[in-house]
Chains A and B, each alone.
Chain A
Amino acid sequence: MLGQGTRLYWAIQWRRNEGLGALFLVLAVFAVIYAILFPGILAVGAMAKFVQGWFPTAMVAAAETMVMLTGGIDLSVGPMVSLGSVVGASTMQGPLGIFGGVLALLALGTSVGAIVGAFVAIGRYPAIIVTLALSFVLRGVALLIMRRPGGFVPPSLSEFLAGSHPTAAVLVVLLVLLWKFYQATPLGIGLIAVGDNAEGAYRSGVSVTTVRISAYIISANLQAFTGLYVAAQTGSGDPLIGEPLTLSAIAAAVLGGVGFLGGQGAMRGALAGSLLMSILINVMFFMGLPLVAQYVVQGLIIVATVALPLIRASLRRAS
């Protein structure tokens, strides 16, 4: 990419900030409030812990965004993360160790993503049905493998991923860079084209099927490795640990301006949305609200973000 091309790429990427100003502003305000309420967060160690808490939500928000951009949705995020944690924690005891676990997770993510992608892209089944049904399958399989939390994640891996190092922060940066790279490939641009106008993209020579299936495969891999990360945080696998993440993933994406109809939204919005929710939940926790109150808040966030533009539009029409 030479001068003119680089300029064009970044100009296009910059235009995607349109409509996200308010979110970034709210995020900044809450970050400041959080820092004022709990100044301890500004220490390096506390910051690393905070990022570790946020990281799984950021990962699943990214996974959900990829699928939603194509006009789909994934309701099996939570069970997939659980299954990832269970598979990771049970395979790392095997002869191949960490390497074997990573291979198993790659196989899991790729096969599940390919199956869902095939149903949606080739079979034309609605993603909402396929992934809802799949969520029960995955939850069941996770429970069949591990009735209760167990297995084993090597302490070295736990320490590397979720110890005192800022590994999670590096991973977030890596995630963003990879996404920027993907957005410069025909497949990455295809995500938005397919979500916006699948028929038109097909007639333009875009392989709609490939775009969709790749999106589901990458998304499922992100989810599976989120499972590994969560397992590393606790040191063991847990067949139910991912459950709240389905809602978090959708809430973060929607809060970040990713539309339900496809084509609309940007990854930075979803990441900002997940960060805002993490801060909210932390604030709620420190203020002594019960942890389960986060479900109420997340549900309300989804309804409010969907309703707000509609209310604004009707007000504008009335005036």
Chain B
Amino acid sequence: MHQPILEARSVSKAFFGNPVLHEVSIELVAGRIHALLGENGAGKSTLINLLSGTLRPDGGQILVDGRPIASLTPQEAHQLGIAVVQQELSLAPHLSIAENIGLGAYPRRGGVVDYGRLAAAVAEIGKELDLVESPDTPVGRLPLGRRQIVEIAKALSIKPRVLILDEPTSSLSAPDVAILMKLVRRLRDRAVAILYISHRLNEILDFCDHVTVLKDGSVTADRPLAGLDPDGLIRLMVGRDPRNLFPPYVSRASGDLVVETKGFRAGGAVDVDFELYRGEIFGIGGLVGHGQEDFMMGLYGAIRAEAEQFRVFANGAAVRSAPFAKVADANAVGVAYVPADRRKEGLLLPHSIDFNLLLPLFASHSAERRKGAQETAITERLAQRLNIRGDRRRQAQALSGGNQQKVALSKWLALEPSVLLLNDPTRGVDVETKREIYLALRAMAAEGKAVVLLSSDTPELVHLCDRVMVFNKGRVAATLSHAEASEEAIVAAAMGVRKAPTLQGEAV
């Protein structure tokens, strides 16, 4: 491992005058698994796009085999053996698995796609990846995790010398992750240079050899991984002790009931008994697709729900005695919902941050003229609460994922909701923003709001929540108190393992 196959040498890139990368260098060497770490907005995606020819650097050079390439295009990158597994899939749902795998680099015979060689190539890669689906299946027919496997197969089909994997495991099931890991190791042994991006630190420690850490567009570390532990990695990323990630646990739960359901059913969720108190942070866990999301949507009135008993209280008096028929009804009694997909459901991306923050207020003030000064005061206050910095007249899409999430969350605070339903608010969010969101949740609970936190991040449920309800196959598998809620107990309940929750305090 001497000369790197692919190298970026002090590359810089700015978008609309905002510098995103500043003099970043990285060397991808044959037979090495190289981790790229950094918070959201640190410039990881931009760096990948530069390395794969999707974007061109403003300054600096991209070198392949030590030779500078003036303006790399994705096509050239393909020809040079650089393959990328993107986080946002590059698949065409209406094309078959085979056509997707070969896309952009079909084997040809006289101008026509050589389906014989394509079929052989797909079969060969399919065997390595356990791709059992028939190659003529349209990709749109596959569940998300399987599509990710097709995306990986597509990258492998060009027999890459450099393989860039951008959060490849975020939508994979455990067995698929295992297959991927084995494959990546095998590729390393075949002298492929691998760049691996993931937010799962254990994965990185498990099987990467070298790490480059980006912070605010600059490289802060470029070193072998040997001798690092998860805390060390986090310290490299944020420059702070990870123990501070979660604010100290203090229960603010009171005895005042806010929401009560018995025999609640919505979508895939059945027979849910649920009580929520003022000042409580109530966690909902479980494997994806086991009804917890349907429960939350039903609670909010976004999908049809039924219940034997359903009551919402305000100041001790019942203000609602049937499930919400529509979202506006829920908003009217102070129930707000922050969706997981902030880009599609949470924000109007082409509009300004200010406009997004004001949106929930427009519904209740629809007949009034807008008052500029008042609006500015409101957005100023909202921005402060979640530490949203910079010019708020910018479009929401100009923000990084984490900052978008902060806007999506704080816009509801203008309504002063009494119940906040949060659907995985920290998914794909960097550590720094996670921390800010945790602090905000604590603060809301302290104000007497009731927070329902649906999360795929088990440590969040363990460290933040007063109680945790775990779903399995549409039913509540366990409701754990803060003391009972260890990561093991939550995972066991989610997997349907009948295991008495071990009593242990805060596992830090």
Binding site for B on A (CB under 8 A): 1-9, 11-12, 14-15, 18, 181, 184-186, 189, 192-193, 195-197, 199-207, 263-264
Contact = CB atoms under 8 A, between A and B. Distances in A.
B118 interface: yes
B185 to A, nearest CB: 25
Nearest to B151: A200
Contacts of B116: 1-6, 8
A184 B115 contact: yes
B95 A189 contact: yes
A202 B76 CA distance: 12
B293 to A, nearest CB: 16
B114 A11 contact: no
Given A196-B93, A204-B78, 19 more contacts: A1-B116, A4-B115, A4-B120, A6-B115, A11-B136, A15-B138, A184-B113, A185-B112, A185-B113, A186-B113, A189-B103, A192-B94, A195-B92, A197-B92, A203-B74, A203-B90, A205-B75, A206-B104, A263-B94
Contacts of B422: none
Given A4-B119, A6-B115, A205-B105, A192 B92 contact: yes
A264 B94 contact: yes
Contact of B103 (A4, A6, A199, A204): A204
Contacts of A192: 92, 94-95
27 contacts: A1-B112, A4-B115, A4-B119, A4-B120, A5-B118, A8-B118, A8-B135, A11-B134, A12-B99, A15-B96, A189-B99, A192-B94, A192-B95, A193-B99, A196-B92, A197-B89, A199-B88, A200-B86, A201-B104, A202-B54, A203-B52, A203-B74, A204-B104, A205-B77, A205-B78, A206-B103, A263-B94
A5 B115 contact: yes
B contact residues, range: 35 or more
B117 interface: yes
Contact of B115 (A1, A199, A202, A263): A1
Contacts of B136: 8, 11-12, 14-15
B104 A205 contact: yes
B115 A9 contact: yes
B143 interface: no
B279 to A, nearest CB: 36
B78 A263 contact: no
Interface of B: 52, 54, 74-75, 77-78, 84, 86, 88-96, 98-100, 103-106, 108-109, 111-120, 134-138, 154
A12 B96 contact: yes
Contact of B114 (A5, A12, A204, A206): A5
A203 B54 contact: yes
Nearest to B120: A4
A264 B54 CA distance: 26
A5 B106 CA distance: 13
A264 B118 CA distance: 23
A262 to B, nearest CB: 9
Given A189-B95, A205-B74, A5 B90 contact: no
Q: Give the most central of B86, B103, B120: most A CB within 10 Å.
A: B103
B90 A199 contact: yes
Nearest to B123: A4
A248 B114 CA distance: 36
Contacts of A202: 54, 74
A136 B332 CA distance: 51
Given A1-B115, A185-B112, A207-B75, A196 B54 contact: no
Contact of A201 (B90, B109, B118, B137): B90
Given A2-B116, A205-B74, A200 B96 contact: no
A201 B92 contact: yes
Nearest to B52: A203
A200 B52 CA distance: 13
A15 B137 contact: yes
A193 B94 CA distance: 8
B112 A184 contact: yes
Contacts of B95: 189, 192-193, 196
A7 B122 CA distance: 14
Contacts of A193: 92, 95, 99-100, 103
Contact of A186 (B84, B93, B108, B134): B108
A203 B86 contact: yes
B74 A204 contact: yes
Contacts of B106: 186, 189
A11 B118 CA distance: 13
Given A185-B112, A185-B113, A186-B108, A201 B98 contact: no
B325 to A, nearest CB: 13
A192 B75 CA distance: 18
A192 B96 CA distance: 11
Nearest to A190: B103
Contacts of A200: 86, 88-92
Contacts of B112: 1, 181, 184-185
A71 to B, nearest CB: 11
B302 to A, nearest CB: 12
Contacts of A14: 136
A5 B77 CA distance: 27
Closest 3 pairs (CB-CB, A-B) = A5-B116, A200-B90, A205-B104
A192 B100 CA distance: 11
Contacts of A199: 88, 90
Nearest to B115: A5
A263 B74 contact: no
A2 B105 CA distance: 20
Contact of A8 (B54, B89, B115): B115
A164 to B, nearest CB: 37
Contact of B84 (A2, A184, A201, A203): A203
A2 B115 CA distance: 8
Nearest to B108: A186
B116 to A, nearest CB: 3
Contacts of B120: 4
B117 A5 contact: yes
Contacts of B111: 185
B242 to A, nearest CB: 34
Contacts of A201: 90, 92, 103-104
Nearest to B92: A196
Nearest to A200: B90
Given A12-B136, A203-B74, A197 B114 contact: no
A4 B92 CA distance: 23
A69 B387 CA distance: 45
A192 B92 CA distance: 7
A184 B106 CA distance: 10
A197 B94 CA distance: 10
